[in-house]
Amino acid sequence: MKLAIIGTGSQCQQHLRAWLTFREVTVVGIITQDSTLQQEAEVNGITIYNRLESLIQYTDVDVIDVATPVRSPLELVTMAAEANIHVIYGTLAAINSNEVSKMISVCMKHKVQLLMGNTYRHTPEFIQARLQINKGLIGKTGVIRIRSGVPYPNNDDQINIDRNLFNEVGLPHFDWLRWTFGEAEMVMSRRVNHSDIEGTPIEYGFVTLRMTDGTIAYLECSWSDYAQHTSFELTGNKGMITYDSQDNNPLLLQNHLSTLIEYKKEGVDTRIFRHYLQCLLGNEKPAMSAEDVMKALQLADAANQSVAQGQPVFLSKGVECL
């Protein structure tokens, strides 16, 4: 399978190195202006292009992997689809639910795959937590608390794009909540912006979601941590599941029988790329559909709308894409 990558910086480099490990894949081009990536491409005999149009004109390619945010995501996906090229959209920053809806339509029209993902659907801790909930090991779920923090983003190795905390840090959690508990019926949120003592921007977002099954989820996401950190506490009437990414064995299940289960942490990058490849080969169905991404983005839209209006957003009444 012939693949091309679009992007810059360390994230694009990570995608390149991952794809080079698959014997079924030949990386035929990289669309970038990143000098470091250009050097690595030359070492591996990969051609550099400045624009997707040039890649399509001069190279036979089956799929493109959009590794980092682009200025006009819908335009790029449309161009690829019209050329009968499948699209892996590996970054969900700087994109909204309306754009994803249009991407879905254009890819369906041209019968190409649009693959979008959430690492939590491939992360053992999140998979196992969902499995234990579905098995009823903690009983009827009541209150869910999730915290996710990452460093404040910079655009040193990316295009100058507008960043949104709920769309980026919150999005994977919105999807996991839908995947685990079903749809949300109400979203209430607030956001706080300030700077630390060194003048570095800091942003906090707090979201309360009421799910249709009665579960209440509290999500705190932030651009404030020095390194990525995620934790959760999932409570039910029969037990609790806790997780902290900073622990060596982070996922613990404690139920009323006092049994303790530990799950070892595993890497997910290779698993995700292998899954994408199997989907493209027709051997697997996507773990997360583009429609799932669109619905998770609609929850991010609801969180942004709640901040702007200062009141809860009820999903049955529709959501504004701000």
- Does 46 score more than 90 pLDDT? yes
DSSP lists the bridge partners of residue 240 as: 235, 254
Same domain, 129 and 210: yes
**Where in the sequence is the domain holding 167, given as residue range(s)?**
119-266+287-317
Counting the structural domains of the chain, the total is: 2
Residue 120 has a CB neighbour count (10 Å cut-off) of 21
60, 82, 116: which is the final residue of a domain? 116
Whether 276 maps to a domain, the answer reads no
In tens, the pLDDT along 280-312 reads 999 999 999 999 999 999 999 999 999 999 999
Give the H/E segment covering residue 40: helix 35-43
Same domain, 10 and 111: yes
**Are the beta carbons of 280 and 163 closer than 8 angstroms?**
no
Same domain, 126 and 258: yes
Same domain, 40 and 159: no
What integer pLDDT is reported at residue 119 of this predicted model?
Answer: 83
57, 91, 116: which is the final residue of a domain? 116
The CATH number given to whatever domain includes residue 196 is: 3.30.360.10
In tens, the pLDDT along 84-143 reads 999 999 787 778 899 999 999 999 999 999 999 888 898 888 999 999 999 999 999 999
Same domain, 192 and 295: yes
- Does 49 score more than 60 pLDDT? yes
Whether 273 maps to a domain, the answer reads no
Whether 278 maps to a domain, the answer reads no
